[in-house]
Structure 1
Amino acid sequence: MTDPDVGAIMGFSGFGKKARTFDLEAIFEQTRRTAIERSRKVLEEERSVERPYEPTSCAGRSGSPSRKGHTGDSTRSPGDSESGCDDTDNESEKSGPTLPSQMCRLDVEGESPVGPPLPLGYGKQQCETDEEDDEEEEDDEDENPLKRIPDSHEITLTHGKKTVSALGLDPSGARLVSGGYDYEVKLWDFAGMDASLQAFRSLQPCECHQIKSLQYSSTGDVILCVAGSAQAKVLDRDGFQGHTAMLNSGVWHPKIKEEFVTCSNDGTVRTWDMNTEKKHKSIFKPRSVQGKRVIPTTCVYSRDGKLIAAACQDGSIQIWDRNLNVHTKFHNRQAHVPGSDTSCLSFSYDGNTLASRGGDDTIKSWDMRNFRNPLNVASGLPNIFPMTDCCFSPDDKLLVTGTSVKRGQENGKLVFFHRETFQKLYEIEVTDASVIRCLWHPKLNQIMVGTGNGLAKVYYHPVKSQRGAKLCVVKTKRKAKQSQTVTQEYVITPHALPMFREPRQKSTRKQLEKDRLDPVKSHKPEPPVSGPGRGGRVGTHGGTLSSFIVKNIALDKTDDSNPREAILRHAKEAEQNPYWVAPAYVKTQPHAVFATPEAEEEVEDDEPEWKKRKL
């Protein structure tokens, strides 16, 4: 397919300016021929000026009669065939005075001057030397293409341990992008790298798909990433989609459910539409006094959704009309200390006041009708988190914020100020950590607080608050239901016969429901029998004959005073009528050998020291 066809299918007009191609061999050959023709013209001009006599010409030259040269045989040089001369007569060796160097070209070209004969090969040797000099000059003028290969030095960029399957370089040559089978895409900035040669960013834009192709656009601002997935992705110059840096804040539009706004470290505030997720709806760019880019730390919509406010790292608060993103409608360059991160902006419910929680340990209120100076300022409120909240009460009379502390030293507080006078009215010691997030819900009339030690607390009033936490505190804690059946391991035997196959294991709940319908399994166990027993059931201990025997004989605890005597009283009977032990030793040991104290002492003396018992 041609380029116009491909462009028509993909939906764009063309691939840009087509790169020029060069045939180096043809260029060098044309240059060589041009140099030869130029040298011939120069020699012909010098010959016509300096030659004092008329040379003989070859057939077809100037119409003069052809000469067969000097007498004798002569070997033609390669230059003869190039000049078109074809002398077939042999020329003999010549002798005589030397000719000027300009005349040797005539001999090579097949023309012999009139005069004394020349030595054989004189002109040939001299002209070969001149041709070599000409070739060296041509080589110096037209460099050898092999010498243009830049392979004298190298560096190694370690992408990973798997195949590097894609490489791309931006048009300016400042950045290289690499992709591989490890799903990683790495970006290398030659100007920003040091000797460690580390990539400045590594990401997985296509998750678990191998990267197939990476290519910068003609302007170098976006990268086309083709992977093993069914969808190609377009990344910006830094490898991100949408915002090109970390996001700092984002809120929904109060009136339009599909729209929200975000701010990022790339120095932009962008609005987005849920229906067009691939591209932002509009973009706002905060600027400093010098017109440079500044980073917004937080952003918010006004209550009616007509204004977008953002606080920046240079201490400014900038407000735009939602439909006009070029110039700010309100701005204050010195709202907070430059370099501090303003953590929150909050509009009052009437829309006339804006509250800002600064990273300079202050909270300020601003009148939207006069945005030059703050209405009220409260200081001494530590803030070490870039997302500490401030909010208005549902009746619009109070302003609430949290304070930050070092863990274990003090208690974080929730502080309440009067909106008009900024007088501290009340404070709550929440926990021994910082109070970061605070939310006062207008319908529930409850305050949700997030702390730095992983807690989320909800403050409410049993009468003034509605629903929310009140719904769950009145419910008793459910007891964990203990399983009444013991589950057994289920062995799956798919190829076993039906008679040997175990029944399919069911869930505990279904098994309990099935057992409840079984009259045998759901029968209540009978209590133990008390007394002598009835109905064929055994009574308590001692009520039957077996229990009586166990009690009086088997469990008889009578103990003989001397167990040796109790055993030896059966020795005479065992000797006269052996039944158990003696028959087993009739063949091997007919006469019993018993241990004596003397024999034991001898055995102990023969044993090594480490085998003797320790007394």
Structure 2
Amino acid sequence: MDGFDEDEFKKFFPSGFGKQTKDADVKTQIDRTKRTAAVETPGTKAIEKPASPSQQAAGDEDAAGSDSDSDSDSDESDADEFPVSHNLVFKTHERAVTTITLDTAGSRMITGSTDCTVKFHDFASLTPSTLRAFKSVEPTARKNATSSSEIHPVHVAKFNPISPSQVLVISATPQAKILSRDGDTLAEFVKGDMYLRDMKNTKGHISEITCGTWSPSNYNLCVTAGTDSTLRIWDVNDPRSQKEVIVHRSRAAGSAGRSRMTAVAWALPAQGGPNALVASALDGSLVMWGGDGPYTRPSAEVKDAHTKGTWTSGLDISPDGRLVVTKGGDDMIKLWDTRKFKQPITTVSHISGSKFYPTSNIQFSPSGANIVTGSESGHLHILNPATLKPELVTLVTPDSPLISVYWHEKLNQIFTGSANAETHLLYNPSLSHNGAMVIMSKAPKRRHVDDDPNFTTDISLGFSGEGIVSGSGISQATTFAGRHPTVGLTASGRSRDPRRPHIPAKTPFAKSQPDEKHIKDSIPLSSMRDEDPREALLKYAEAAEKEPIFTHAWKHTQPKTIYAELSDDEEETKRPGPEKKRIKRDY
């Protein structure tokens, strides 16, 4: 046969019989998540890593026309050193992501948001096309007297570093909760008596809790800090009363002596450093106690660590327990030495955006060789802990503040939460393990008809969402729910506005007012309800006279009525007329 191509013809036949398995092209899927060049935003400049003397000498020799090559080499070296070359985006929240935590093994991620929910993500069940949470919990949801749901934003969610089956969840309430890794409530700490003046005599916090963390040595202990100027150490086995109460006496607060506690950190002595408990307050002070007590008086205190009245949102202790880094609302980052806790070692300027997001944090890397934090412009900053100078600055969310950061030790991946409700997972295929690599090793699932498109990702458009940026800096691929976080309903049928109570959806089988078509089809003679009753009866008068229904049996046997014949005179006398009134007479 002329023009017959046997190879093309064989492509129409299957290669085998039975169920065909779809293998994942891991390399192609990973390449699709590779980050593009950073998009510069107005008012920011690209910050590069300082070149070594040998690189400077080579740059002087090849100064003519070699700038682009040096830039690409520096970008590649940074990408090889830090896990930021690739990006996965989770769009499971509806508002700003305020906290991120992972268990020790790195198999489960929990995120909290100002949409008053905590989302649970399991990497083992995720695929490149279904980046969604398997469970959503409202930690403070309860019914009040008006039968409406009372919920609050989530400030902190932290896995227990020793026992990963417990999660500390802190919302904008006086009561913290302990949840299981599956979202079940294990314990709820008691609320104190707000009418007592001495905070040592109350059984719990009397006002909003702002932050908290776990003990690094005892898996049963955790500490919470609140706006009642106290730190309280709890035993999860006895949530009805705290174990220790630490009252911060603020001299700057006047006669009341109270100041809001803004951040707290507990050192990890397993790394070889001293056990210390460090907290910051709204009066600008930085206080340190011994991690094992006694807590009657602080071991060291800095009164003017940051500007008074500014919110110090970020606080962390190095793995060796010798350095403390703080990020304040005065747009300053300061490095402190626990052995000389009077003056900061280094101070740099940094616009963090903690004025609007009080949970904006700062964190040491797992090895302690770097410090990672976010900025108001959406950049991720990796700093040198000795000088606080940036080693890498990369744009993650254009024109959207980067609030929370988390660098996992075993996964070697950086997780970021932004004000645009996105959770970014930054990784490097050559440096990272599990986590994103487990997700990318699976074949993408086909979108089901019942899947919510807000919780799925179209793999053909990529993952980072950095390629298409409009004039205002907002991605054109943003979903309707991202642009309007309080409009419409979620996949579970609840209103996107957390202040609005849940209203069940009306279906054709549960309508309080059935439609007209349903009435006509189901109820006989239902159209008569809109007619005039008199007209409805008279339209059958002629037919009833010709063919009577009820008197049809007497149609031929019924006698005719015979009336008496009266004369004209008799008719006049019989006519009814007005009766004459009788006249009363007195005799």
TM range (shorter): 0.3 to 0.5
Q: Which has the larger radius of gyration?
A: 1
State TM-score, norm by structure 2: 0.41
State TM-score, norm by structure 1: 0.39
